[in-house]
Structure 1
Amino acid sequence: MAHSPRTDLDELFLRRQRERLLELRAQLIATGDAAGAEEDTLQQAAGDEPQDEVDDANRLEQQANNEAVLARSEARVVAIDRALAKFGERTYGISDGNGEPIDRAHLEAVPEAVFTSEELRAKQQRT
């Protein structure tokens, strides 16, 4: 589905959005790496030594938190990669769903957006 580039998104805005996406991607990867390193540390600290219930509960809670951070970071990196690909396709700011323009304000708030606010609301209502 080929779309013409958005005429209401100037070059400066597009350049800033691309930079924001690249910075956000780097931050998310660093956060994921840190959570993964913390997980390794927790596993090593637990070792083969017996742990009391409080230690086990704390470790399991931290492990669950780390897994949630990793999952969220991975999902956002995938979304960011798609948004970055749209720059190359010259379709940044165009919905992958309905082909409609994504509001500039929505792109400013969520630079990796590939669906309109209306599409996201409709999807949330279905689930």
Structure 2
Amino acid sequence: MSAQKVTLSKEFLARQQSRLVALRATLLGREESTIANEVSDQEQHGSEAEEFEDAAQAMAQKEINQGLRNAIDQRISDIERALQKIEDGTYGISDESGEPIPLERLEAVPEAVLTVEEQEMRDTGK
């Protein structure tokens, strides 16, 4: 792993930090909303007699919700890591290879802690 130095302006870092904090708040709000909706559905329909199809739909919806929660949890984790990297002075450097993350990627995905190629490998489980 070659730890390279990336020079990013203080203004860019401050803007990214603001974006990351706002994104984290938005994602946390979505996760709470998803959980609240599940609880509400259970409270409204929990004691009703269920048909087989209802149970299948409910299971499918739970799987979808869990997938969404997992994706949100990963993004929140990446946001937390990116915020820590700003504090440490390592923002813009890949956690995996130590290579610089292109500025365009950081602007598009402020929570990026990996290069595009590394992210694709993580997403595909390779």
**TM tier, shorter chain?**
0.7 to 0.9
Q: CA offset at residue 35 of structure 1?
A: 0.3
Cα distance in structure 1, aligned partners of 2:25 and 2:76? 9
CA deviations on 1:73-116 (whole Å, 9 max, x unpaired) are 11111111001000111100011112121100111111111112
Question: Which residue is 2:104 aligned to?
Answer: 105
CA gap 1:124/1:50 in 2 versus in 1, 3 angstroms: closer
Match of 1:24 in 2: 23
Deviation at 1:38, TM superposition (A): 0.7
Answer yes or no: is the 8 Å Cα contact 2:85–2:91 preserved in 1: yes
Could you say which residue in structure 1 is the equivalent of 2:33? Answer: 34
Gaps of 5+ in 2: none
Shift of 1:16: 1.0
Q: Which runs of 5+ in 1 are unaligned?
A: none
SS at match of 1:91: coil
| Code of the aligned partner of 2:16 | Q
What is the CA RMSD across the aligned residues, in angstroms? 2.3
Instruction: Report sequence identity in percent.
Output: 39
Asked if 2 retains the 8 angstrom alpha-carbon contact of 1:80 and 1:112, the reply is yes
Q: 2:125 and 2:32 mapped to 1: Cα distance?
A: 34
Query: Does the CA contact (< 8 Å) of 1:36 and 1:70 recur in 2?
Result: no
Cα deviation code 1:44-77 (max 9, x no counterpart): 2232321123433332332222222211111111
Q: What is the one-letter code of the residue matched to 2:6?
A: R
- Judged with a 3 Å threshold, the aligned counterparts in structure 2 of structure 1 residues 57 and 24 are, in CA distance, closer, same or farther, namely same
- Equivalence map 1:12-91=2 (5 Å): 12-91=11-90
May I ask how many residue pairs the two structures share in their alignment? 125
Tell me the CA shift for residue 125 of structure 1: 7.3
TM-score by length of 1: 0.84
* Higher RCO, Cα 8 Å, sep 6+: 2
One-letter code aligned to 1:6: V
Partner residue in 2 for 1:6? 6
For 1:37, the aligned partner's letter is A
How far apart are 1:123 and its partner, in Å? Answer: 5.2
- Tell me the TM-score normalised to structure 2 length: 0.84
Contact 2:4 2:99 in 1 (8 A): no
